[in-house]
Chains A and B, each alone.
Chain A
Amino acid sequence: MEEFQPSWWLIVTYLLLMFGIGIWAARTRVGRMEDMAVAGRSSGPWLIAFSVAATWINGTTLIGISGVAKDFGLSAYWTGGSFVLATIWMSYYVVPRLRATRIITVPQLFERFYGPRHRLVSLSLIILRDLGATAGVMGSLAVVTSSILQISLLQSLALVGALTLVYVFLGGMWAILVTDAIQFFIVSIGSVALVVFGFLGAGGFSVLRSIEDPDFLGSFGTGGPSQVIAWVVIGISITFGYQSVIQRGLAASSTAAAHKGFLYGGIISTIWYMVPPLIGVLGRALYGADISGDDVFLRMTFGVAGGQLGSIIIVGILAASMSTLDSTINTIASNFTIDIYNRFLNPNASPRAQLWLYRLNVILVGALAAAIYYVFPLMIELFWLGGRIMGASVAPVVAAMVLFPRVRRAPRTVLTSMLTGASVIILYQILGSVQEVGTIVVVWTVDPILIGVPITVSLLALGTWWETRNPRSLRGRN
């Protein structure tokens, strides 16, 4: 890795481009808070599609899934594939309806259906996950940057945080949509080129014959059906409540644009998501089973690619992480501004005050995420556990609210289900369900979400039936 000299002009050009897009968006597109949060609800389907795809692809995806594939084989596809397949499903069944409600944040919908208590509970569960994810992505980006620039982790955190915050601060969702589209193409070109040149350099697919395990290239890999089913359930449940992605649909110019954007973005990502597993299985064949899962992607980049291609891949990692980081920062800033400041602290704030408070929140969220990563040593658990807590609480409830009218009339059931789902995951974690924690790869004995989701869904179904069984009890709700 020490011999690799990245192409600085490529990296600097990329960063200047992101900065330029931020300035363009601030000067021509952003005039009020809604422009920052959901691009004034005027985005077309293709911008949404590439942005959705870019949000699903980040540094953790590239480095983490390659590492999982080194141990679990081709079935590592499901660590990300389930998210993007659920995105396709949401394009038909969830996102157009959410777009039609004109909400900006998911907790807003909870208040409109059930009241402020539900809003606060859903807000806490969503922020727990999104802040952990923001810290995790920022951390993985900082680790890569510090090894390229040979600077300390703290300096690296400050650098990557500042670079991302600048264009989000200036252009909000508009800057994110445009930069995401560019970032998606850079990531795709770099990662696909790594696979193609990797296999060509190794003499084609025959290099994989050195791997003796017959399950390695099978549909369930070396982890077996239970592991794959856990990945499928996790991906689907987290996606249903993943506000950063849902907000792309809310930024669409119409319900039809929201549908198409999610459909196209889901299909593109579904195809692309085989790239990291291919890098992982190739890395296993080239470097053996003993290489650390966290090192596979970077070793492939510096060993197989090198030169200009290596520089493109480095820019690709930066792009992949920044495209996810900008989204989660923007989402939490919208939660802070709309769900806390506008709702509880200053409901009569002027549009100008809202806009500038939103921008300040962008900086606050970035600083908070960096502090969590640097100061809180269990950040990785927060990252993975927060997703599971959200996936077993808010996510199934959001899908149920959209699909089943009776759930919208069952406030007590919804609150109980969310709190129970979250508590089960936390309790299960306390009892010790994590088998192995790497810097990026986490292995569970039995994934807690396999316990939490069935409990939440059962409570939701039975409780809704019980709470709404008597039509008279529904009258006088307000």
Chain B
Amino acid sequence: MEPAKTEARDERGESYRYVDHELDLMDRVELPRWNPWLSLALLVLAGFAYVWVWGVLLRG
């Protein structure tokens, strides 16, 4: 997660609009290799496991 080169262009007017090649500059910040939607589903499943563990604890 190194700083992207988009940071080089900082101060611009509020009406500035990206030219075509700038549209994809944010892609220089690499994402994890995991499929994002699979990761989200796994996080939700982890949440269910957390609730389940508390349920077991509270039931004694």
Contact = CB atoms under 8 A, between A and B. Distances in A.
A144 to B, nearest CB: 27
A255 B1 contact: yes
Contact of A270 (B27, B36, B47, B54): B47
A221 to B, nearest CB: 9
B47 A93 contact: no
Interface string B1-27: 111101101100111111110111111
A338 B14 CA distance: 8
Given A208-B59, A478-B17, 19 more contacts: A74-B51, A74-B58, A78-B47, A89-B40, A96-B1, A96-B29, A97-B27, A100-B4, A100-B25, A116-B15, A217-B58, A219-B52, A232-B44, A254-B3, A255-B2, A255-B29, A270-B50, A408-B24, A478-B19
A92 B46 contact: no
A92 B2 contact: no
A454 interface: no
Given A85-B44, A96-B1, A256-B1, A205 B58 contact: yes
A218 interface: yes
Contacts of A281: 58
8 contacts: A74-B55, A97-B4, A100-B7, A113-B17, A255-B3, A256-B1, A408-B24, A477-B20
A439 B22 CA distance: 47
Q: Which bracket fits the contact residues of B?
A: 35 or more
Contact of A217 (B7, B20, B24, B55): B55
Consensus secondary structure, chain A interface: helix
Given A96-B1, A116-B15, A338-B14, A403 B36 contact: yes
A92 B31 contact: yes
A477 B26 CA distance: 19
Interface of B: 1-4, 6-7, 9-10, 13-20, 22-29, 31-32, 36, 39-40, 43-44, 46-48, 50-52, 54-55, 57-60
A75 interface: yes
A85 B55 CA distance: 19
Interface in A195-239: 205-206, 208-209, 217-219, 232, 236
Contacts of A343: 14-15
6 A-B pairs with least C-beta separation: A100-B4, A343-B14, A97-B26, A217-B55, A256-B1, A408-B23
A93 B42 CA distance: 14
B43 to A, nearest CB: 5
A102 interface: yes
Given A93-B36, A217-B55, A405 B50 contact: no
Contact of B59 (A78, A217, A259, A409): A217
A112 interface: yes
A82 interface: yes
A255 B6 CA distance: 12
A89 B41 CA distance: 10
B3 to A, nearest CB: 5
Interface string A262-274: 0000000010001
Contacts of B43: 85-86, 88-89
A75 B18 CA distance: 45
B20 A75 contact: no
Contacts of A114: 17
Given A78-B47, A219-B51, A101 B14 contact: no
A255 B51 CA distance: 32
Nearest to A403: B36
Q: Which of B19, B22, B26 has the most CB of A within 10 A?
A: B26
Contacts of B60: 205-206, 209
Contacts of A116: 15
Nearest to A348: B13
Contact of A219 (B2, B36, B55, B59): B55
B4 A112 contact: no
A257 to B, nearest CB: 9
A116 B14 CA distance: 10
A108 interface: yes
Contacts of B20: 474, 477-478
A259 B36 contact: no
Nearest to A218: B55
Contacts of A108: 14
Given A100-B6, A102-B7, A347-B13, A85 B47 contact: yes
Contacts of B46: 85
